[in-house]
Structure formats: structure tokens, C-alpha cells
Amino acid sequence: MDYFGFQDKTAVVTGAASGMGEAAAQMLVDLGAHVHAVGRNKPILTPVEKTYKADLGDKADIERLLTELPEKIDAVFLCQGMAQTKDNHLRLMLVNYLGVRTLAEALAPRVADGGSITLISSNGGFGWERDFAACKEVLDLAAWDDAVAWFEAHDEKLMDAYRFSKRLLNTYVQYKVHDPLYIARKLRLNAICPGNTITALTDEFNRNTSPNGDPEEGRKIIESLFQKSWDGRWATAEEMGWPMVAIGSRLFSYMSGQVIMFDYGLTSVWNIEELQGITDHFHR
């Protein structure tokens, strides 16, 4: 029995050169899918059907990529992303949010009825509810240039660009799940929200977390904030990429509009602490 339902199906995976995207692409290949894998700089080593190079923070390059991708698709996995950064905040918003949204909406008409679009967000987007008003303002801007203008006019959001980009994705999935683009043909729209995961971005996360740009110092800060309380560990890319593939498969054929935390229960603890008035993780 082909429980996942990917045998001879067509899947598009972005961010496929490393980390979670690479893990997802390899699993899809193992499940018999025809994988179209998109990367930017690094070569894609997974034996996929076809590889593509594109800058997914650049509108023109995305438009070019769309002319090359298949016209008939069964599942889309949008795994591209940038680590938090101390500068170049607008670039982060374009890659982490606007490029993801643009691809999701441009590819949706090509996805078979009942197919899936699955995004990688982050548990860094925890607390999106309190940012809903700002998120809605951005989500209501359908045009790329209008969204860019909004970002440029809201420096206070760009100063915490990584978190805001992920809050936008978390809001998008729930705000748009019954949009006619998705619900009319029962396209499933979901997101996974990884906690601390070892990927090609880990060193950059660590470096930008440190006040001194020291990756070892940054690693210790991250572990103290997010792992010390439960004697935790870093996840592997496979521990994120594999569940993502499952969510996009027919195993989850009745699930849509879900933003799922993969952080060993850390955000569940935060939610309980919020309800008990112990701390305010929404504004940490």
C-alpha cells in the first residue's frame, strides 16, 4: 500500500540544496515522486527529476522560475529561508515571507485538486495573534511592490524581521486557508514551525544571536534560552523535513489551515505559562 501517495506524483521543493528542504526532497524521491528541486547557490545533490537555480527574494527571478516549473503539480513544499540577521532586514522579509507567498499563490492553480502546499515557518512566529493587525495589513496587499512599500514604511517591524516574517507565514496559513484560491479545489495549506534545528543556517543564527558575532557564544545563548529548561537538544533536518512530507501527503488529506509547532513541546509550555500569568513570551 502506497500510504503517502507520492508514487509517480510531481512535487516541487524549494530550499532543496540543504537542511530541511534537502531532507524533504530525498524522502520524496524515496517515495517514488518526480521531484523538481529549487536552490540558489549550493548544488542540489539529491537525485531528483530536475534542478533549478533561483533567487527567491527577487521578483523577476521568481517570475523566470515560474516559466520553467511544471504546469501540473501534486504537492509543493516551500522550504526557502534566511536566518535572523543584524542588517539587510528587507531582504529577509522578501525571502522568508514575500517569496514564499508569491510562489504559493502562483503555483496553486497548477496543483491537482486535493493537492497540498506546505510551508516552513518557525516557532519564532509564536505569538502571531498579538501581531494580527499588522500581519493583516500586509496580507491584504496582494501586489509585491505594495508589500515592499509597507515594509519600507514600517522600520519597527523590520528591526525584528525574522520573527515578523514567521508571524506573517503563520497568519497567512490560517487567514487564507478558505480563500477561493485554495478551498475551491480543496488544496491543503499548512505550515510546520521548527524549533532549534541543525541546518546550513545554524552558524549564521548563532553568529547573529551573539552581541559580538561569536557563533559559539550565540549557540550558548540559544541553548540557554530554548533548551536549558527541559535539558533539550537540537533537532536534525530530517526531524523537520520528514514530517513536512507526511503533512503534504494523503496521510493528512483532511488537514488544512494548520500551523504545527515542532519544538518538543516548548511553545506548549509557553502557552501554559501565558495562561498562568507567569511570563510574556509574546513579547520576549
Helix axes 161-176, 132-139, angle to 10 degrees: 70
Q: Is residue 205 part of a domain?
A: no
Number of domains in the chain: 1
Q: Please give the Cα distance from 150 to 157 (Å, whole number).
A: 10
CATH of the domain at 110: 3.40.50.720
* b/e map 84-104, b = 16+ CB within 10 Å: beeeebeebbbbbbbbbbbbb
Residue 138 lies inside a defined structural domain of this protein: yes
Per the domain annotation, does 113 fall within a domain? Answer: yes
Query: What pLDDT digit, counting tens, does each position of 18-57 carry?
Result: 999 999 999 999 999 999 999 998 899 999 999 999 999 9
Inside any domain, residue 99: yes
Examine residue 57 and state whether it is found in any structural domain, yes or no.
yes
225 lies in some domain? no
Q: Residue-wise pLDDT tens for the chain (284 aa)?
A: 899 999 999 999 999 999 999 999 999 999 999 999 999 988 999 999 999 999 999 999 999 999 999 999 999 999 999 987 777 899 999 999 999 999 999 999 999 999 999 999 999 999 999 999 999 999 999 999 999 999 999 999 998 999 999 999 999 999 999 999 999 999 999 999 999 999 988 888 888 888 888 989 989 988 998 999 999 999 999 999 999 999 999 999 999 999 999 999 999 999 999 889 887 765 55
Domain with 120, as residue range(s), is 10-197+236-283
Cα separation of 100 and 226, whole Å?
Answer: 26
Say if 132 falls within a structural domain.
yes
- The verdict on residue 217 lying in a domain is no
pTM of this structure: 0.95
48-95 residue pLDDT tens: 999 999 999 999 999 999 999 999 999 999 999 998 777 789 999 999
